[in-house]
Structure 1
Amino acid sequence: MAQGGRRPTTYGRLLRHGFTDPAAATRLLDSPPLASVRDDALFLNALGATADPDLALLGLLRLVEALEAEAEAAEDPQVLLGTLLTAKPLRDRLLGVLGASDALADHLARHPHDWRALATYESADLHPGIEEFEAALRQADDRDTLRVAYRRALLGIAARDVCGTNDLAHTAAQLADLATATLRRALAQARQAAPEDAAACRLAVVGMGKAGGNELNYVSDVDVIFVAEPSGTGGPQDEAEALRAATRVAAHMMRICSDTTGEGTIWPVDANLRPEGRNGPLVRTLSSHLAYYQRWAKTWEFQALLKARPMAGDAELGYAYVDAVTPLVWQAAERENFVTDVQQMRRRVVASIPAAQVERELKLGPGGLRDVEFAVQLLQLVHGRSDTTLRSPTTLDALDALAAGGYVGRQDAAALDAAYRFLRTMEHRIQLYQLRRTHLMPDSEADQRRLGRSLGYRSEPVTELHKAWRRHASAVRRLHEKLFYRPLLDAVAQLEPGEERLSARAARQRLEALGYADPASALRHLEALASGVSRKAAIQRTLLPVLLGWFADSADPDAGLLGFRKVSDALGKSPWYLRLLRDEGAAAENLARVLSAGRFAPDLLLRAPEAVALLGDENGLRPRSRDALFQETLSAVGRAEGAEAAVAAARGVRRRELFRTAAGDLIGAYGTEGVAQQEPGAALDRVGNALTDLNSATLAGALRAAVRAQWGDELPARFAVIGVGRFGGHEMGYGSDADVLFVHEPREGVSEHEAGKAAFAVATEMRRLLQLPTTDPPLVMDADLRPEGKSGALARSLSSYAAYYGRWSVVWESQALLRAEFVAGDAGLGERFMELIDPLRYPAGGLGDDSVREIRRLKARMESERLPRGADPTTHAKLGRGGLTDVEWTVQLTQLRHGHELPRLRTTRTREALAAAREAELIGGDDADVLDEAWVLASRVRNAVMLVRGRPGDTFPSESRELAAVGRYLGYDPGHVGEMLDDYRRVTRRARAVVDRLFYDTE
């Protein structure tokens, strides 16, 4: 009667606590094992707070009975129940898990002592990572113990999840970390089982999909790719054997995780994302992977690689794989029909859903999880090439980055974030119940009720659940269509969403956020370019949102947009111009980079706008050969009427070729399309050679024009132009003068006096022609390094040079001649001049002590007298500490000392001479590296200043935008100019220390 008298009160109380079968619950509470907690209000309240109180109570009874069944653990049931009454954290965690997961209740019934895994409630326990999970699995030495340890760790994750200690992101990340630890333990077991195979190979397991993205489900295939290399250094036979061994180890590891045993399974390991899918080899080498991706891979494969992450095995090899494929991922948006391919793939996924499941599908259906993921991944692939902040493999982090970057509106991003968290939490709780892989809303009302309660809906769990689901799915469908199917994305894979629909105020705000200093002027440029109904305006409206983003990625977006308007105004009536930008993938981006990188290249382009065509040609930005430049320049001069017109024609060739060189240099520095990014030294050599060849051709043109004006086809004297300094060294920068010597020789039947008079006249005329006013960058001929300097004859005969050098030459002239090289005119005479000066610049027996002291004295005097007043010696690229002069004089002293006996030192080029000195062990390898790095950096700084400011300079600009543009050219991200200056000072400080030891002999 006592029990019957208690039932009405208990019955009602249980209903209020959320029990659906109070009668059954009462029977369970009345069972002897639960007698001690039956009437505890806190205990019943905790049951009522779970997703399914009936399930939680049954699971608890099974756990207590399992503990009682173990004779050696007679105390455990009382310990457990007593703890439940006194320790709220354990009570909430254990009952929360039991009320949400029948599968974990089964685990606790089989392994009842694992309840203690939930008893710890320390701060360090709240967010365990891979190391903690590895420690938890370390003793698992076979498949069954691994499964038990895995479920034990899963208990803690589920408890933190259902109790709200972890949010969705933490839960998904911890599941991914547990998967990482599990793969590592399974791989260890597989390697222990086959030690010979393990020793024969290096094997890396690269996570893909949600595992790679640190956003794993409770039950999901763990997608992986296997990469292997031989453990030794043998040939193809070793590689083949290593792959066979790695395949056996990898297959065994997969079975350890995937097979079903008496302890169930963990999850399937799926390697079908590998090259060629299930038809391809399970394991490949890194080079084999790259060969496939570079030649055969489809767009979806690059999308999948976005989430690649080393998880187990050889970490160095795993990271090498990720480093190698990452550039391919961020080039995927350049593929033909990229956007269409991704959209079609999404449509195929939707079409593959059985009709009966479409309305229940959380993941693949319209408004489901895949819609969010596809939209985010598409925007990442489209914009992530130039914006590295978007490259997170985790969906929510990537969405945050897209919002922060302005690629998705913040309200849209917040709605997508909320919807994604809701849908993923639904998916998690559905899977947690039976630990089965499913993405479908359950059919039964009881299951839906449990799901609704797990999400916090208590008054009408099923109704509230469906209402929230419909609201979030509708938001996802709307935003997916807005972000994913934007019409202009199909034409241009870099369009900002809704850009053409922004109000004027919103547009100004967007432009300001993108870094435009004068948004009002920028809007006026946009209006001038895109207003109207003409075809030209329509194409501009397609291009401009893309270009604005590229301009915004530069140090001076306003200059880029202004330059684009000027070029468009100049070429607006040319039918090929806008077609080129629209249809040639690289042309528009290359133009944007050039226009926004400084003044030098845009000024050249605005004087010859047709040079835009170079930007769309795959080979258009490669420097032309010396022979081609000479041929074109001399042909242009030959067609011109009069000397001044001839030099103007030569200048036209030079203008275009300067633009070609500068544009290729800028685009290569950014590493964008068109020209591949080069190692700094190689890029600098490329520019120096191109400018030297171009300026040699220009001087040859001026020489031809000067001769024709007075003498017709033949000058009375043989005449040669000798380049010295940077000109002779093939080390010219954009602002370098052309240092020259003029040498002549009488032709047969011509007197020395007449020949000298003609040579002087032609040299003077060359200088006059090249100094004519022009808007082009000037080519200044400087002959001050000639014998006797400005006081000496402008042009000398070969015999006069021989007499002077034989009698009067001093050591600094020998040093200057180290970089002498024939550049234009009579090649035979030029060769004889080289033969004349070789004994001076490569003296037999080297330099005497007096000459060495004189060179050191001259260098010290130059340091004290020639550095401009107020200049910072730590950042002056030419004369400052560790700058160009320091390195060059050190190398030249070595050439003067040893050039006679070491032919490889007989070069006009500083870097080649330095490499030769290193090879001959005249300069140590480390010292040579330090000097080379400093010389390359200082030279690039001078080039950067000229490109940015449009005028030469040896120091960093003081204006912030110019300084930032120099930084971009040198490879520094925005906001890192301080780092650039620190790096420059560090590099040159080290170089100066080497110079002090080698040049001044301070050791």
Structure 2
Amino acid sequence: MNAESRIQTTAGRLARLGFADAARAGRLLDGLGPEAAGDMGLLTALVGAADPDLALTSLSRLAERDPGVLGAMRADPGLRARLVGVLGLSAALGEHVVRHPGHWKALEGEQALQRPPERDVRAALLESVGADPADPEPRAPRGGTEVMSALRVAYRGRLLHLAARDVTGAASFSQVTAELSGLAGAALEAALAIARAEVPEGADARLAVIGMGKCGARELNYISDVDVVFVAEPREGVDETKGLQAATRLAQAMMRACSASTPEGALWEVDAALRPEGKAGPLVRTMASHLAYYRRWAKTWEFQALLKARPVAGDLELGGEYVAAVDEMVWQSSARDHFVEDVQAMRRRVEAHIRAGEADRQIKLGPGGLRDIEFAVQLLQLVHGRTDALLRRRATLPALAALSRGGYVGRDDAKALAEAYIFLRKVEHLMQLHNLRRTHVLPEDEAGLRRIGRALGMTVDPVGEFTTRWKRHAMEARRLHEKLFYRPLLQAVARLPGDEARLTAAAATARLSALGYADPDGALRHIAALTSGVTRRAAIQRTLLPVMLGWFADAPDPDAGLLGFRQVSDKLGTTPWYLRLLRDETAAAERMARLLGTSRYATGLLLHAPDAVAMLGSEAELAARPKEALAGELAASVRRHAEDAEAAVDAVRALRRRELLRIAVAGLVGGAGVDEVGRALSELNDVTIQAALDAATHKVAVERRGPLPTRFTVIAMGRLGGYECSYGSDADVMFVHAPVEGAGEKDATDAAHAVANELRRLLARPAPDPPLHIDPDLRPEGRQGPLVRSLSSYAAYYRRWSSPWESQALLRARYSAGDAALGAEFMALIEPLRHPPGGIGEDAVREIRRLKARMEAERLPRGADPLLHTKLGRGGLADVEWPAQLIQLRHAYAVPGLRTTRTLAALRAAAEAGLLAEPDEEVLAEAWRFASRVRDAIMLVRGRAGDSIPADVRERAMIARALGYPPDGSEDFVEDYRRATRRARAVTERVFYGAD
């Protein structure tokens, strides 16, 4: 094979191995000599580098300067891996080692794997500028470019040693950032030694350099501005002005020693913009001046910055005093007005100032970038760290771990944030190492992305795999940032007074009493039971309770709210999702507080089904479920217990309880109107009756040992028929059956009676779930008549005996459950009775008016105030419903819109047909809604049904609060009710009774 063919073959092999310029790589390998060209270990190391071409180029240049490096690499595989790893990643460090070929020897042997102590690094950098490390205030013998260059050479030598351990995995991410921070502190100390040589008068002052940002938190990047604040005190006997002037010149010289351009380049910028007043303020201040500024003028972001403050160079004793002095201000800063909102606004401003075209490549400032994670962690620290000293950590990852241990962030969320943070920081390091330049923007070129992907161990498709992982981490970081950073609970915790946030016993009784707790001692016992101990559950409760106590106080009954919360918390025990839901979904916690502090009815439902707390976290979960979905779920439950009717209906009632809670929550805190609540309750009763009917029918059929000899249907009446049920409504129904062909009348009737009785029994059995009482008293002949009639029996009765009140009752009749075809036949049968052709006559009108007057005189309970009885009182429900029904009986034959079972729909149709004046319709509808809301509120608040607004002042106030009135709005509520019903009664007198 000739030389040209051999070169082409080698180039092809190198191209397949990953070299971009294979021909050039072949020439460079040949240039390293025959031993190197045949060294498979070297070739393997080069191929494994992030950028094989870059690694080979830098190695070739280094070998020209020091040929001994090749033999050393063959003898020490560890040296080979470390050196090639760095050279394949960092062109800048490759340039450095070529300029200073002796530095590669730091990567040999065991020393290359050891992390040097910070004191040794500090000593080495001081010695590089000729200063004595043992001197308390080291001074370089001279200043100038030469000594600054020496500092840069020594610094980069140390950087090379660290990068080699980083690239090969010998140093963890946290070790790398801590070592970079220590190296930066040592460089600042050496720069200060250079400054002392240039500014002899600097001896007139003590100067402390306070590291801020990542340097202060020991989480520095490879290349970053090093944020500092300077604190000085004049020496004893030195005028303060003179001392500060000297300290200022010393600080300026120190900054120059780091940032000045030399033949060896610059280290990095020293940025003092985080000082009081920023760049407009003095570079150096005394301790007293700093503290005065922070107490009076500091903005929220300045306390956020001080969270990471740490003395890093100069007078460390003075620096320690400074950090201790500002520390308490930092951890009390969240009590400032609008603190949380200010931090959130700052994050939005940072995001808004990203350069055009960079947002989708910014791993620091962009959405899902490092700032998203850092801001979320810092905000949570500052808000909760006011009372929890364990959160007072400077660095992001330790702080995140503390937040997770304390229960402020879920374990999974903390794990995902930590993984995203470490991934993004590693990418940041890889980008910066390439040219030792400060950058946070991902490269656009494929070669740059490939280098990063390969450095992260992605070899099959480095660009695609890296892009996918980056976007996944960024998306998760953004999601969790928005979840945690904009958590409303933060504002609530931040606004708490310090003593309440700590939940200390001191003055707690008075505090709770002032909040409105009637039994503050009992409240303290509940608080202690919930928060004592060192469990994660107790820690989360300590976070939640200060805020929830305020929410309970805003509810009608704070004591009941706190008691209910303890009872639910005890029932759910260590269920992991429960407290996590309340902590992470503030709307759920607030809804729960409002619910427990308002409604004994809802509290009772929740205590028997505590898992239902989960629905409080979602608006969608509070919406009434479609009737078809409910029917399907209940039917499936009955099928699962097909052979045990009691068990089947127990399961049905348990599901009904859950839905009752959903409706109650929607009505109390979800904004559902009385119309929506009435329809949801009525449809829930329909499907409950159907499921119980299925169970009862199956049981009777089994007992009879054969299919039933009759079809059976349930007709809804009254409020159930009008889709106007309240929480305490019975289910008014009529039972209809029709014997199947060939069945005997008596056998069919007996079977139908058995089904009806079993249905009623199953739904009324004692159980922890609310019963559904079936009331069949609106049937023909009332309680004196048969419980069940056949369709033909109903037809015969209505032909012969039907009275006006029965026609009126049938206005609300509709099919509810059972045989739908039979239900349709029944509805057809009664159509002429409830919507009589030509309308009812005047005799019937007089009879209905007489019945209404008699009801007002006889049925109002003894002692009830007729002005405050929501059902039978003046202007109450009956005063609205009877006029609507009278209009229906007189005109429905001619006005299709009146053929409805719903009161408000009938009123609207009457107004649209000109049978009722629009203002009258509005007055009647307002009174009906008001009375219905009051009845619902009575049931929700007291836990038992009632028709009268209670005389008890406390109960009345709680009902008013449940209806949305302010704490002192009880009298306004009663007056509003009286006004609405007084106007309705006037309309009823005129429309129903025909009074002028």
What TM-score, normalized to structure 2?
0.52
| 1:728 aligned residue (717, 721, 725) | 721
Q: What does residue range 567-966 of structure 1 map to in structure 2 within 5 Å?
A: 567-640=568-641, 641-668=643-670, 677=671, 683-712=673-702, 714-966=707-959
Deviation at 1:628, TM superposition (A): 1.0
Could you tell me which residue of structure 1 aligns to residue 150 of structure 2? none
Aligned-partner SS, 1:366: helix
Residues 1:822 and 1:527: Cα distance change in structure 2 (over 3 Å): same
Deviation at 1:572, TM superposition (A): 1.2
Residues 1:488 and 1:788: Cα distance change in structure 2 (over 3 Å): closer
Deviation at 1:664, TM superposition (A): 1.4
Could you tell me which residue of structure 1 aligns to residue 986 of structure 2? 993
| 1:378 aligned residue (316, 321, 338) | 338
Q: Which amino acid aligns with 1:919?
A: E
Post-superposition Cα deviations, 1:504-560, rounded to whole Å, max 9, x if no partner, equal 241111111100000111000010000000111001000000110100001110000
Residues 1:348 and 1:626: Cα distance change in structure 2 (over 3 Å): farther
For structure 1, the 5+ residue unaligned runs are 1-346, 383-408, 410-483, 669-676
- Quick check: 1:978 aligned with 2:971? yes
Deviation at 1:605, TM superposition (A): 0.5
Deviation at 1:573, TM superposition (A): 2.0
Q: Which amino acid aligns with 1:971?
A: G
Q: Which amino acid aligns with 1:715?
A: L
Aligned-partner SS, 2:639: helix
Whether the 8 Å contact between 2:700 and 2:751 is mirrored in structure 1 is: no
Whether the 8 Å contact between 1:362 and 1:369 is mirrored in structure 2 is: no
Q: C-alpha separation between the residues in 1 aligned to 2:846 and 2:493? A: 65
- Quick check: 1:520 aligned with 2:446? no
Deviation at 1:896, TM superposition (A): 0.4
Aligned-partner SS, 1:504: coil
Aligned-partner SS, 1:498: helix
Whether the 8 Å contact between 1:744 and 1:797 is mirrored in structure 2 is: yes
- Quick check: 1:367 aligned with 2:295? yes
Whether the 8 Å contact between 1:867 and 1:879 is mirrored in structure 2 is: yes
Q: What does residue range 262-411 of structure 1 map to in structure 2 within 5 Å?
A: 352=278, 354-356=280-282, 366-368=294-296, 371=299, 377-378=337-338
Post-superposition Cα deviations, 1:570-629, rounded to whole Å, max 9, x if no partner, equal 001211111111112211111111111121000000011111111113311111111111
Q: Which amino acid aligns with 1:886?
A: D
Whether the 8 Å contact between 1:874 and 1:880 is mirrored in structure 2 is: yes
Q: C-alpha separation between the residues in 2 aligned to 1:797 and 1:348? A: 89
Q: C-alpha separation between the residues in 2 aligned to 1:348 and 1:830? A: 79
Whether the 8 Å contact between 2:340 and 2:490 is mirrored in structure 1 is: no
Residues 1:501 and 1:872: Cα distance change in structure 2 (over 3 Å): same
Q: C-alpha separation between the residues in 2 aligned to 1:503 and 1:486? A: 25
**Paired residues, what number?**
546
Residues 1:486 and 1:351: Cα distance change in structure 2 (over 3 Å): farther
Deviation at 1:501, TM superposition (A): 3.3
Q: What does residue range 548-559 of structure 1 map to in structure 2 within 5 Å?
A: 548-559=549-560
Post-superposition Cα deviations, 1:732-758, rounded to whole Å, max 9, x if no partner, equal 000001000000111222222222111
Aligned-partner SS, 2:866: coil
Q: Which amino acid aligns with 1:721?
A: V
Aligned-partner SS, 1:587: helix
Whether the 8 Å contact between 1:742 and 1:763 is mirrored in structure 2 is: yes
Residues 1:834 and 1:569: Cα distance change in structure 2 (over 3 Å): same
Aligned-partner SS, 1:846: coil
Post-superposition Cα deviations, 1:759-812, rounded to whole Å, max 9, x if no partner, equal 111001111112211232221100010001111111111111111111110000
Q: C-alpha separation between the residues in 2 aligned to 1:494 and 1:794? A: 62
Q: C-alpha separation between the residues in 2 aligned to 1:501 and 1:374? A: 14
Residues 1:485 and 1:584: Cα distance change in structure 2 (over 3 Å): closer
From the CA coordinates, give the structure whose radius of gyration is larger: 2
Whether the 8 Å contact between 1:364 and 1:370 is mirrored in structure 2 is: no
Could you tell me which residue of structure 2 aligns to residue 560 of structure 1? 561
Whether the 8 Å contact between 1:915 and 1:928 is mirrored in structure 2 is: yes
Residues 1:485 and 1:688: Cα distance change in structure 2 (over 3 Å): closer
Residues 1:522 and 1:838: Cα distance change in structure 2 (over 3 Å): same
Q: C-alpha separation between the residues in 2 aligned to 1:709 and 1:583? A: 47
Whether the 8 Å contact between 2:869 and 2:947 is mirrored in structure 1 is: yes
Residues 1:486 and 1:954: Cα distance change in structure 2 (over 3 Å): closer
Residues 1:708 and 1:378: Cα distance change in structure 2 (over 3 Å): same
Q: C-alpha separation between the residues in 2 aligned to 1:976 and 1:513? A: 19
Q: C-alpha separation between the residues in 2 aligned to 1:797 and 1:964? A: 50
Q: C-alpha separation between the residues in 1 aligned to 2:645 and 2:857? A: 44
Could you tell me which residue of structure 2 aligns to residue 542 of structure 1? 543
Whether the 8 Å contact between 1:494 and 1:546 is mirrored in structure 2 is: no
Could you tell me which residue of structure 2 aligns to residue 15 of structure 1? none
Whether the 8 Å contact between 2:638 and 2:695 is mirrored in structure 1 is: yes
Whether the 8 Å contact between 2:693 and 2:755 is mirrored in structure 1 is: yes
- Segments of 4+ moved more than 4 angstroms: 347-353, 357-365, 369-377, 379-382, 484-488, 490-496
Deviation at 1:380, TM superposition (A): 10
Residues 1:811 and 1:573: Cα distance change in structure 2 (over 3 Å): same
Whether the 8 Å contact between 1:630 and 1:697 is mirrored in structure 2 is: yes
Could you tell me which residue of structure 1 aligns to residue 136 of structure 2? none
Q: C-alpha separation between the residues in 1 aligned to 2:487 and 2:657? A: 41
More deviation in 965-974 or 549-558? Answer: 965-974
Q: Which amino acid aligns with 1:504?
A: A
Whether the 8 Å contact between 2:493 and 2:501 is mirrored in structure 1 is: no
More deviation in 500-509 or 966-975? Answer: 500-509
Whether the 8 Å contact between 1:555 and 1:961 is mirrored in structure 2 is: no
Residues 1:351 and 1:537: Cα distance change in structure 2 (over 3 Å): farther
Q: C-alpha separation between the residues in 2 aligned to 1:903 and 1:843? A: 12
Q: Which amino acid aligns with 2:535?
A: S
Post-superposition Cα deviations, 1:65-121, rounded to whole Å, max 9, x if no partner, equal xxxxxxxxxxxxxxxxxxxxxxxxxxxxxxxxxxxxxxxxxxxxxxxxxxxxxxxxx
Q: What does residue range 33-182 of structure 1 map to in structure 2 within 5 Å?
A: none
Q: Which amino acid aligns with 2:548?
A: L
What TM-score, normalized to structure 1?
0.52
More deviation in 963-972 or 836-845? Answer: 963-972
Q: C-alpha separation between the residues in 2 aligned to 1:854 and 1:349? A: 90
Aligned-partner SS, 2:714: strand
Whether the 8 Å contact between 1:707 and 1:714 is mirrored in structure 2 is: no
Whether the 8 Å contact between 1:496 and 1:545 is mirrored in structure 2 is: no
Q: C-alpha separation between the residues in 1 aligned to 2:722 and 2:486? A: 55
Deviation at 1:350, TM superposition (A): 6.5
Residues 1:924 and 1:493: Cα distance change in structure 2 (over 3 Å): farther
Aligned-partner SS, 1:735: coil
Q: C-alpha separation between the residues in 2 aligned to 1:831 and 1:821? A: 9
Residues 1:877 and 1:350: Cα distance change in structure 2 (over 3 Å): farther
Deviation at 1:845, TM superposition (A): 0.8
Residues 1:722 and 1:531: Cα distance change in structure 2 (over 3 Å): same
